[in-house]
Structure 1
Amino acid sequence: MSLPSSIDVAIIGAGAAGLGAAHALKDSGLSFIVLEARDRVGGRGTTVQAAPDVIFDVGCGWLHSADKNSFVKIAGQLNFDVDKALPPWRERAYGKAFPQGERDDFIRALDAFYMRAEAAAASGRDSPADRYLEPGNRWNPMIDAISTYVNGCELDQVSILDMDAYEDTNINWRVRCGYGALMTAYGAALPLALNCQVTLIDHSGQRLRIESSQGTLSAGKAVITVPTSLIAQQALRFHPALPAKVEAAAGLPLGLADKVMLALDDPGDLPSDGNLRGATMRTEMGTYHLRPFGQPCIEGFFGGRFAQTLEDEGDGAIAAHSIDEIAGFLGNDFRRKLKPLQESRWAHDPFARGSYSHALPGHADKRAVLAAPVNNRLFFAGEATSPNFFSTAHGARDSGERAAKEVLASDAKR
């Protein structure tokens, strides 16, 4: 839709947080519009048809903490099928690359690490999570690799207080035709301006002046849902400046978690929904979901500094490394059965510049700082503002709903 000249509420970003805010304002009587820089909704959640028989969630793919995940109810309302099968991690490994005895030993070491970190967090003093690795434990590099998938970064960059605040009910479901597809349907009936990149919010006057690639808009209030990277790097600027927001966003950087989808010529060779990972003594490794939903493919995951290195090598580097690693696990003749379909490169996405937030050591309190309204006119949402469900799509959606309620409460006070 075309940009109105004036609006009650401008919502910046049509990811899960922006969509949550918009839905919460639908029956408020306020006029609103969602301004989205991309040509689609969903933000860091997008589903593609990678092949005629393969769907691929390029971004978020799991309904984490599904028993508390607001997208589960939304999926039911929109008639999206939710798959409740067990996820392919922890003990569900496949093949000789990671024998059962070693897997058991690794899980014990991983659980012991989390227990030490949790006990340390109970003191209320923050520190980097890598301090709670057992010195000399053979599994430390692999525990660090798990952190790159979970946090998007290695443990030396993770606050133990933030890690302890994350709520995980260990119930993880999937949307059969894609989490990104669910978000697209969730946003379908909302007033959206796509291809509309907001670069400046001027809050110096009586009304907000919002500058975008499609022109200037006047608004009474704004809900800002862009990733922390865009605030910290001031791709979205404020006038007057908001140094506390920039500092808070810088303390909550986006880690990097990338995915790759490989077509599998002979799917009968591998189990459906299995996990492939080697007992490697290095952090620079992938983990592989075999035949998700029974599809003829393998989905690979990479995180942290290694994912950044592969991204920087250019298009196709993640797929090439994946094929090499899988062939190393399953035999070199397996190489001919794999074909690259698609890969994510979230660090190179100009409107994301990463995957999901983590708090740097000493910055766990910055989530609340980032979430706080400014002068009852600027309201902030996004996964990074969620106190307990950060790094998730439902945490983002719920934060958007929370920000919209703050808008309505501020409006009622006038």
Structure 2
Amino acid sequence: MDTTTIGLLYTGVTLVLLFSGMPIAFALGLSALGFMAGFMPSAHLGSVAETIFAELDNFTLLTIPLFVLMGAAIGKTRAGADIYNSLNAWLHRVPGGLGLANVFACAVFAAMCGSSPATCSAIGSSGIPQLVKRGYSEGLATGIIAAGGTLGILIPPSLTLILYGLASEQSIGRLFMAGIGPGTLLIFLFALWVMIKYKLERQVAAGRNDAAAQAILEDEQITWHDRLSALPRLLPFGILIAVIMIAMYGGWATPSEVAGIGAVGATVMVILLYQCYRVDDIKTILSGTIRESTMIMMIIATSFLFTYVMSYLGITQKAATWLVELELSKWVFFFWVNVFIIVLGFFLPPVAIILMVTPILLPALNALNIDLIWFGIVMTILMELGLITPPVGLNLFVINGISPDIKLKNILLGSLPFIGLMLLAIVILCVVPGIATWLPNHFYQGG
């Protein structure tokens, strides 16, 4: 059997296992072991444990459980509601201020949590009812949270960027810094759309005389006392984010050390400010951290085995040669890779896409002189699309779970404009790549 046939069979079997609902780690591992037994010398089966351990013996991987702990600690509290309420107190006079408060709250929470579903749940549980109550359409209210939640995999610290860095052998610190500009761009585009859509809905409401119209036309009364009293609730989060950013981008700490700072800082904050010191509270935080970290590490371990088999059988090299021999121009190749990743995002989570696709694309990306840091950011935005597109759009179902009275159809329709904005952001990054590359190229000196 030639390499091309083996490669197609290997890919097909893996996708069938993934689509069957089998956990990602088991699907990748079972596929790898099956082809190792069928097409490789039997001695390789005896070295599976050694191969996996050698790949996991990487200090950078320590960032994963530490950042997960940071997110678990923050997620255990009412932090999402506090961030949302504090921002709303200061933004309510701006047109669409309540919607903007939700966008910025998602960004702040994502910067500390790094999880899109957790961001949707934490901010959406408080924000969506308030948005609907204030007369925002169900589509806009849920679209804000669904799209805002996707920022969790782009704004550092991001587990997705960590995994891409490991798969592509790129600096985690540089990837984190590269995510700041595009993350800010998406926040700006989301905020701009919210303001425009709010004005349109307000104009339509002016011609009606129902309760929803009165709600959106009525001005919320918030005093300066309310604004100032909101600051102490927002300040601790600002300090924690500032410490993390300064430590990492000031060159004072490695990503692993920064993860430790974030984990300790978040744990201390939830104990002191939110009184999460009881045994049950600590148990919930630690058990959640262990479950998620173990899941991610298992996926990483089996993905190493998966790519090892691909490389040994020559599948990676054959695919890379085929891509290069197509002789596509840089931008034509980039376009079809984007389409490919978007299609995969309809069915697979970001972790699976990164660990399966990156090793195959790397040789072609290098041959076409495509900046791997820049591409990692674009790839992350493409995978954000998968979080708000059916049939597997995780954020859509998280929002449907916290707002069961809102139809899934309305949630999807409300998310469509934000999908367009993400695609627009990619176009802007193609025209102005410095949005992603300027900071890491000029300020980051670490590895």
TM superposition score category, shorter chain reference: under 0.3
User: Is the strand fraction higher in 1 or 2?
Assistant: 1
Q: Going by fraction, where is helix more abundant, 1 or 2?
A: 2
Q: Which structure has the larger Rg?
A: 2
Normalised by the length of structure 1, the TM-score is 0.26
